Every structure is written in structure tokens, then in C-alpha cells.
Amino acid sequence: MFKKLMGAAALGLVMVASGAMAKETVVWWDFLGGGDGVRMKKLIEDFNAEHKDTIEIQGTTLEWGTPFYTKAQTSAAVGEGPDVMTYHLSRLPLGVSTGTLAEISEADLEAAGVKAADYTPASWNAAHIDGKLYAVPFDMHSIVLYYNKDLLKKAGLLGDDGLPKGLDGVDNFTAALKALQAAGVAQPLSIHDGAGDSMWRIFYSLLGQEDGVFFKDGKFLDGDNLDKAVKAVTVMQNWVKDGFAPAQVDYPASIALFTSGKAAFHINGVWEVPTMTDLKAKGELFDWGAIAIPTFFDHPATWADSHAFAIPNNKGKEMTPEKKKAVLEVITWMNKHSTFWATAGHLPAYMPARDNDEFKKMQPNATYAKLADTAVYDPVSTLAGVASPVYDAAGNFLMPAVNGEMEPQAAMEQMRDDLQGQVE
């Protein structure tokens, strides 16, 4: 009898141990700070609570930009990268070229129940390099036009629906800025023209509205694309030159110009929606809204990028089937719960997270959600994307042109030549 009891106990211990071993730990890296970071930590906490017996995400937040991508590359090269990480789609070309990212196969997608049809086409396409998928999109983030309803109403620019009116077309937008000045708004427009990244996003949107191509077949601003680029920069330069927007404004000051009521319009990323929402909730902000930027040229187009989930290609460290299954569960769960992520201003890339009542009541997100249909992603190049040589060139040439320190023609020619010299 004693032997039987001991045998049963031993079997129980083995079963407990097996159960413990069955729980997978997923090492996670992200670069998300501010409101994004707060929301992602909440999602990770919720995931871990829901999967407490099967999967645990162990998350680490690293420094955004070049430091993150450098660490991802060097860590994967020696097999010390995480199991999954956030990644900008605009940086996939570099990640693939350096062997940092593992391909996500059709079999992986099928096993996880991931269907391409559930994702925003523009972001899904941007997640592919040479026909292969290297990341699963999580969101889409673009720039939008923030506006002060009180000031627009005073200038006769607010429709009965609470949305701005008469802004499409360069001439109409200029007329609107003049109307605001006539209504007593000294500087109608606030833009972050003290750095190249923000200027790039506006410029690339305007270039896309002209069907301009910044990079193709190894060439930057080839043919008449240079003329289109000059045209886009000229519009932006005129905002400063004509006194509609102040020059050399840093990022915090550009936001403060708008939130203090000194500027009626502000062009910035959707990621500042929580800033406006929180100020309004505290009674410290006027009635405001945000819409897709106006169509200045031929058709709507807006710069966009996406946070996505990528799997490092950890050299010499093959991922087990159990680990891969857990990682894919993390990715799919995050996307299925990304309506909450939209409270950070972003548009969920997973369309069912946008096609529900919760998101449709979320303002101003639901109003500018049409951006998903007109998004233009950064050029597919190892030189382009977040914290890239293209962004550096925007700071060296585009930004000075917007601030009147260079002529648009010379700026675009020098930007083209600088980047062309870096093409391998």
C-alpha cells in the first residue's frame, strides 16, 4: 500500500512538473514610451493574467530609434535577441538586409489563424519585402490636422457638422489661413519645423498627393519627381514665409502654440490625440477635433507608418515549435485587443478592431480613420524609415528650406544627391 501511495505521489510530482514546464515564457522588447508605453504595459498585464497558466510575456522597454534597431541587429546576430519585438514597418528593409528578422511563413499564419484579409491592405503590403512577410502590423499612425473649433467658427471655417470646411486645395487652404488672421489669429498654423522628421511627414504626404515617387529602382527623386518635390516644399515654405506659421519651432512649443489657443491649426501625428483628450478632460482645452490633412494637390494621401510585431532571426538559436506557437498567440491576441490601443490615437491595423461600436464611437479617431485608405508608406529602402539617412537628410535640407534658409530647388537637388551617394 505504501509503495502504491509513493508511486501515485511520484506520478503527481511528474505531472505538476510537466505542467510547469508547459508554460512558455515569451521575451518581449519594445521601444514604446509615454502614452504608448502605458497602454502597452496594460495590454501585457491583461495578456499575462488571461494566460497565467500557459504563457508569460516578460517585457523590456528600450530606447526608441537608432539605439533600438542597433541593439536588435547586434543581439540577433549572436542569438541573444528577444522572442518577439515591436518594429516599425518603415525599417523592415534594413532589418531584412542585415538578417535581423525571421520570415513569418504561411504555415505560421495558418496555425495562428491570421488572415491577410483582416488587415489594412496598405500596412499588410508594407509588412512584406520581396513577397515575404517579416512582421504582423499592429497599427497605422499618420499625421492629422488638429483644429480649434472656436477659432474656426469665428473665421467662418466650421461646418454645421463641427468639421472644418473649404480647406482642400493650396489656394483654399491659404485663403483659410488668411481668414483666420483677419479674425485675429496672428499665427494660424503650428508645425514642428525645428526638426526634419516632422517636416518629412508633411512633405511626403504632399508628394504622395502628386503621385510623386521619392525612391524607385535605386534612384532618388528621378525625372519629374524632383519637380513634384520642389512644388511640395514650396507650399510648406510659403506657410512660414507668409507669416502663417512661425519658423524653427521645436516639438513641445509646436504643441503649446495650439493648446494655448494661439494657433488654430496644428499638423502632428495621431499620437498627440491623448494629449488633447487629457487636457480637455481636465477642463484645460477648448473644443477641438482632428481630421485627415487637406488634399492640397491631385488626391488624398498621407504619410503613414506602423508599429508591428517581428520575430528576430536569432542566429544559432532555433525557436522551438512550442515557443513559436506562444509567440504567435501573443501577436494575434494583441491585435484582437487593439481597439484599446486606438485610445493612443493610432488606427488598429487589424480591421475587426476598427469595425466595432467601441471604435466607431471613439473620436476623433473614427473621423480620420479614412486615412487607412489613402496611406503612403516610406520608400522601400535600407536608407529610409524611422531614424534613417532619409530622416537625417530631411533635417539637413528639407527643414532649412521650409524655414526659408534654402531655396526649394537647391534643397531638393542636394537632398537627392546626398542620398544617391549612399546607395550601394
What is the mean pLDDT of the segment spanning 385-409?
A: 97
What is the mean pLDDT of the segment spanning 65-90?
A: 97
The helix (run of H) or strand (run of E) holding residue 27 is strand 24-30
What is the mean pLDDT of the segment spanning 341-347?
A: 98
Q: Please give the sequence-ordered ranges of beta strands (E in DSSP) within 89-138, or none if there are none.
A: 128-129, 132-133, 136-137
pTM of the shown model: 0.93
What is the crossing angle of helices 273-281 and 251-259, to 10°?
A: 40
Residue 5 has pLDDT above 80, yes or no: no
pLDDT in tens, 14-61: 444 444 458 999 999 999 999 999 999 999 999 999 999 999 999 999
pLDDT in tens, 170-212: 999 999 999 999 999 999 999 999 999 999 999 999 999 999 9
Assign 338 a pLDDT band (cuts: 50, 70, 90): very high
Average pLDDT, the chain: 95
Within 13 Å of residue 50, how many CA atoms lie on the same side as its CB? 11
What pLDDT, on a 0 to 100 scale, did the predictor assign at position 22?
80
Top-confidence residue, 3 or 390: 390
DSSP result, 242-304: TTSS-SS--HHHHHHHHHTTS-SEEEEEGGGHHHHHHHHHTT-S-SEEEEEPP--SSS--EEE
Give SS3 for 73: helix
pLDDT in tens, 207-245: 999 999 999 999 999 999 999 999 999 999 999 999 999
| Residue pair 178/384 in contact by the 8 Å Cβ criterion | no
Which residue is associated with the grid cell 512558455? 24
Top-confidence residue, 148 or 13: 148
Matching CATH number, 23-140+305-360, of 3.40.190.10, 3.40.50.150, 3.30.565.10, 1.20.1540.10: 3.40.190.10
What pLDDT, on a 0 to 100 scale, did the predictor assign at position 424?
74
What pLDDT, on a 0 to 100 scale, did the predictor assign at position 21?
56
For domain 143-303+379-420, which architecture applies? 3-Layer(aba) Sandwich (3.40)
Decide whether 23-140+305-360 matches 143-303+379-420 in CATH topology.
yes
Give SS3 for 127: coil
DSSP 53: T
Q: Where exactly are the structural domains of the chain?
A: 23-140+305-360, 143-303+379-420
Residue 290, C-alpha cell as written in the block? 482632428
Return the C-alpha torsion angle 365, 367, 368, 369, nearest 10: 70
Task: Please state, for a pLDDT cut of 70, what percent of the chain lies above it.
Answer: 95
Residue 346 has pLDDT above 60, yes or no: yes
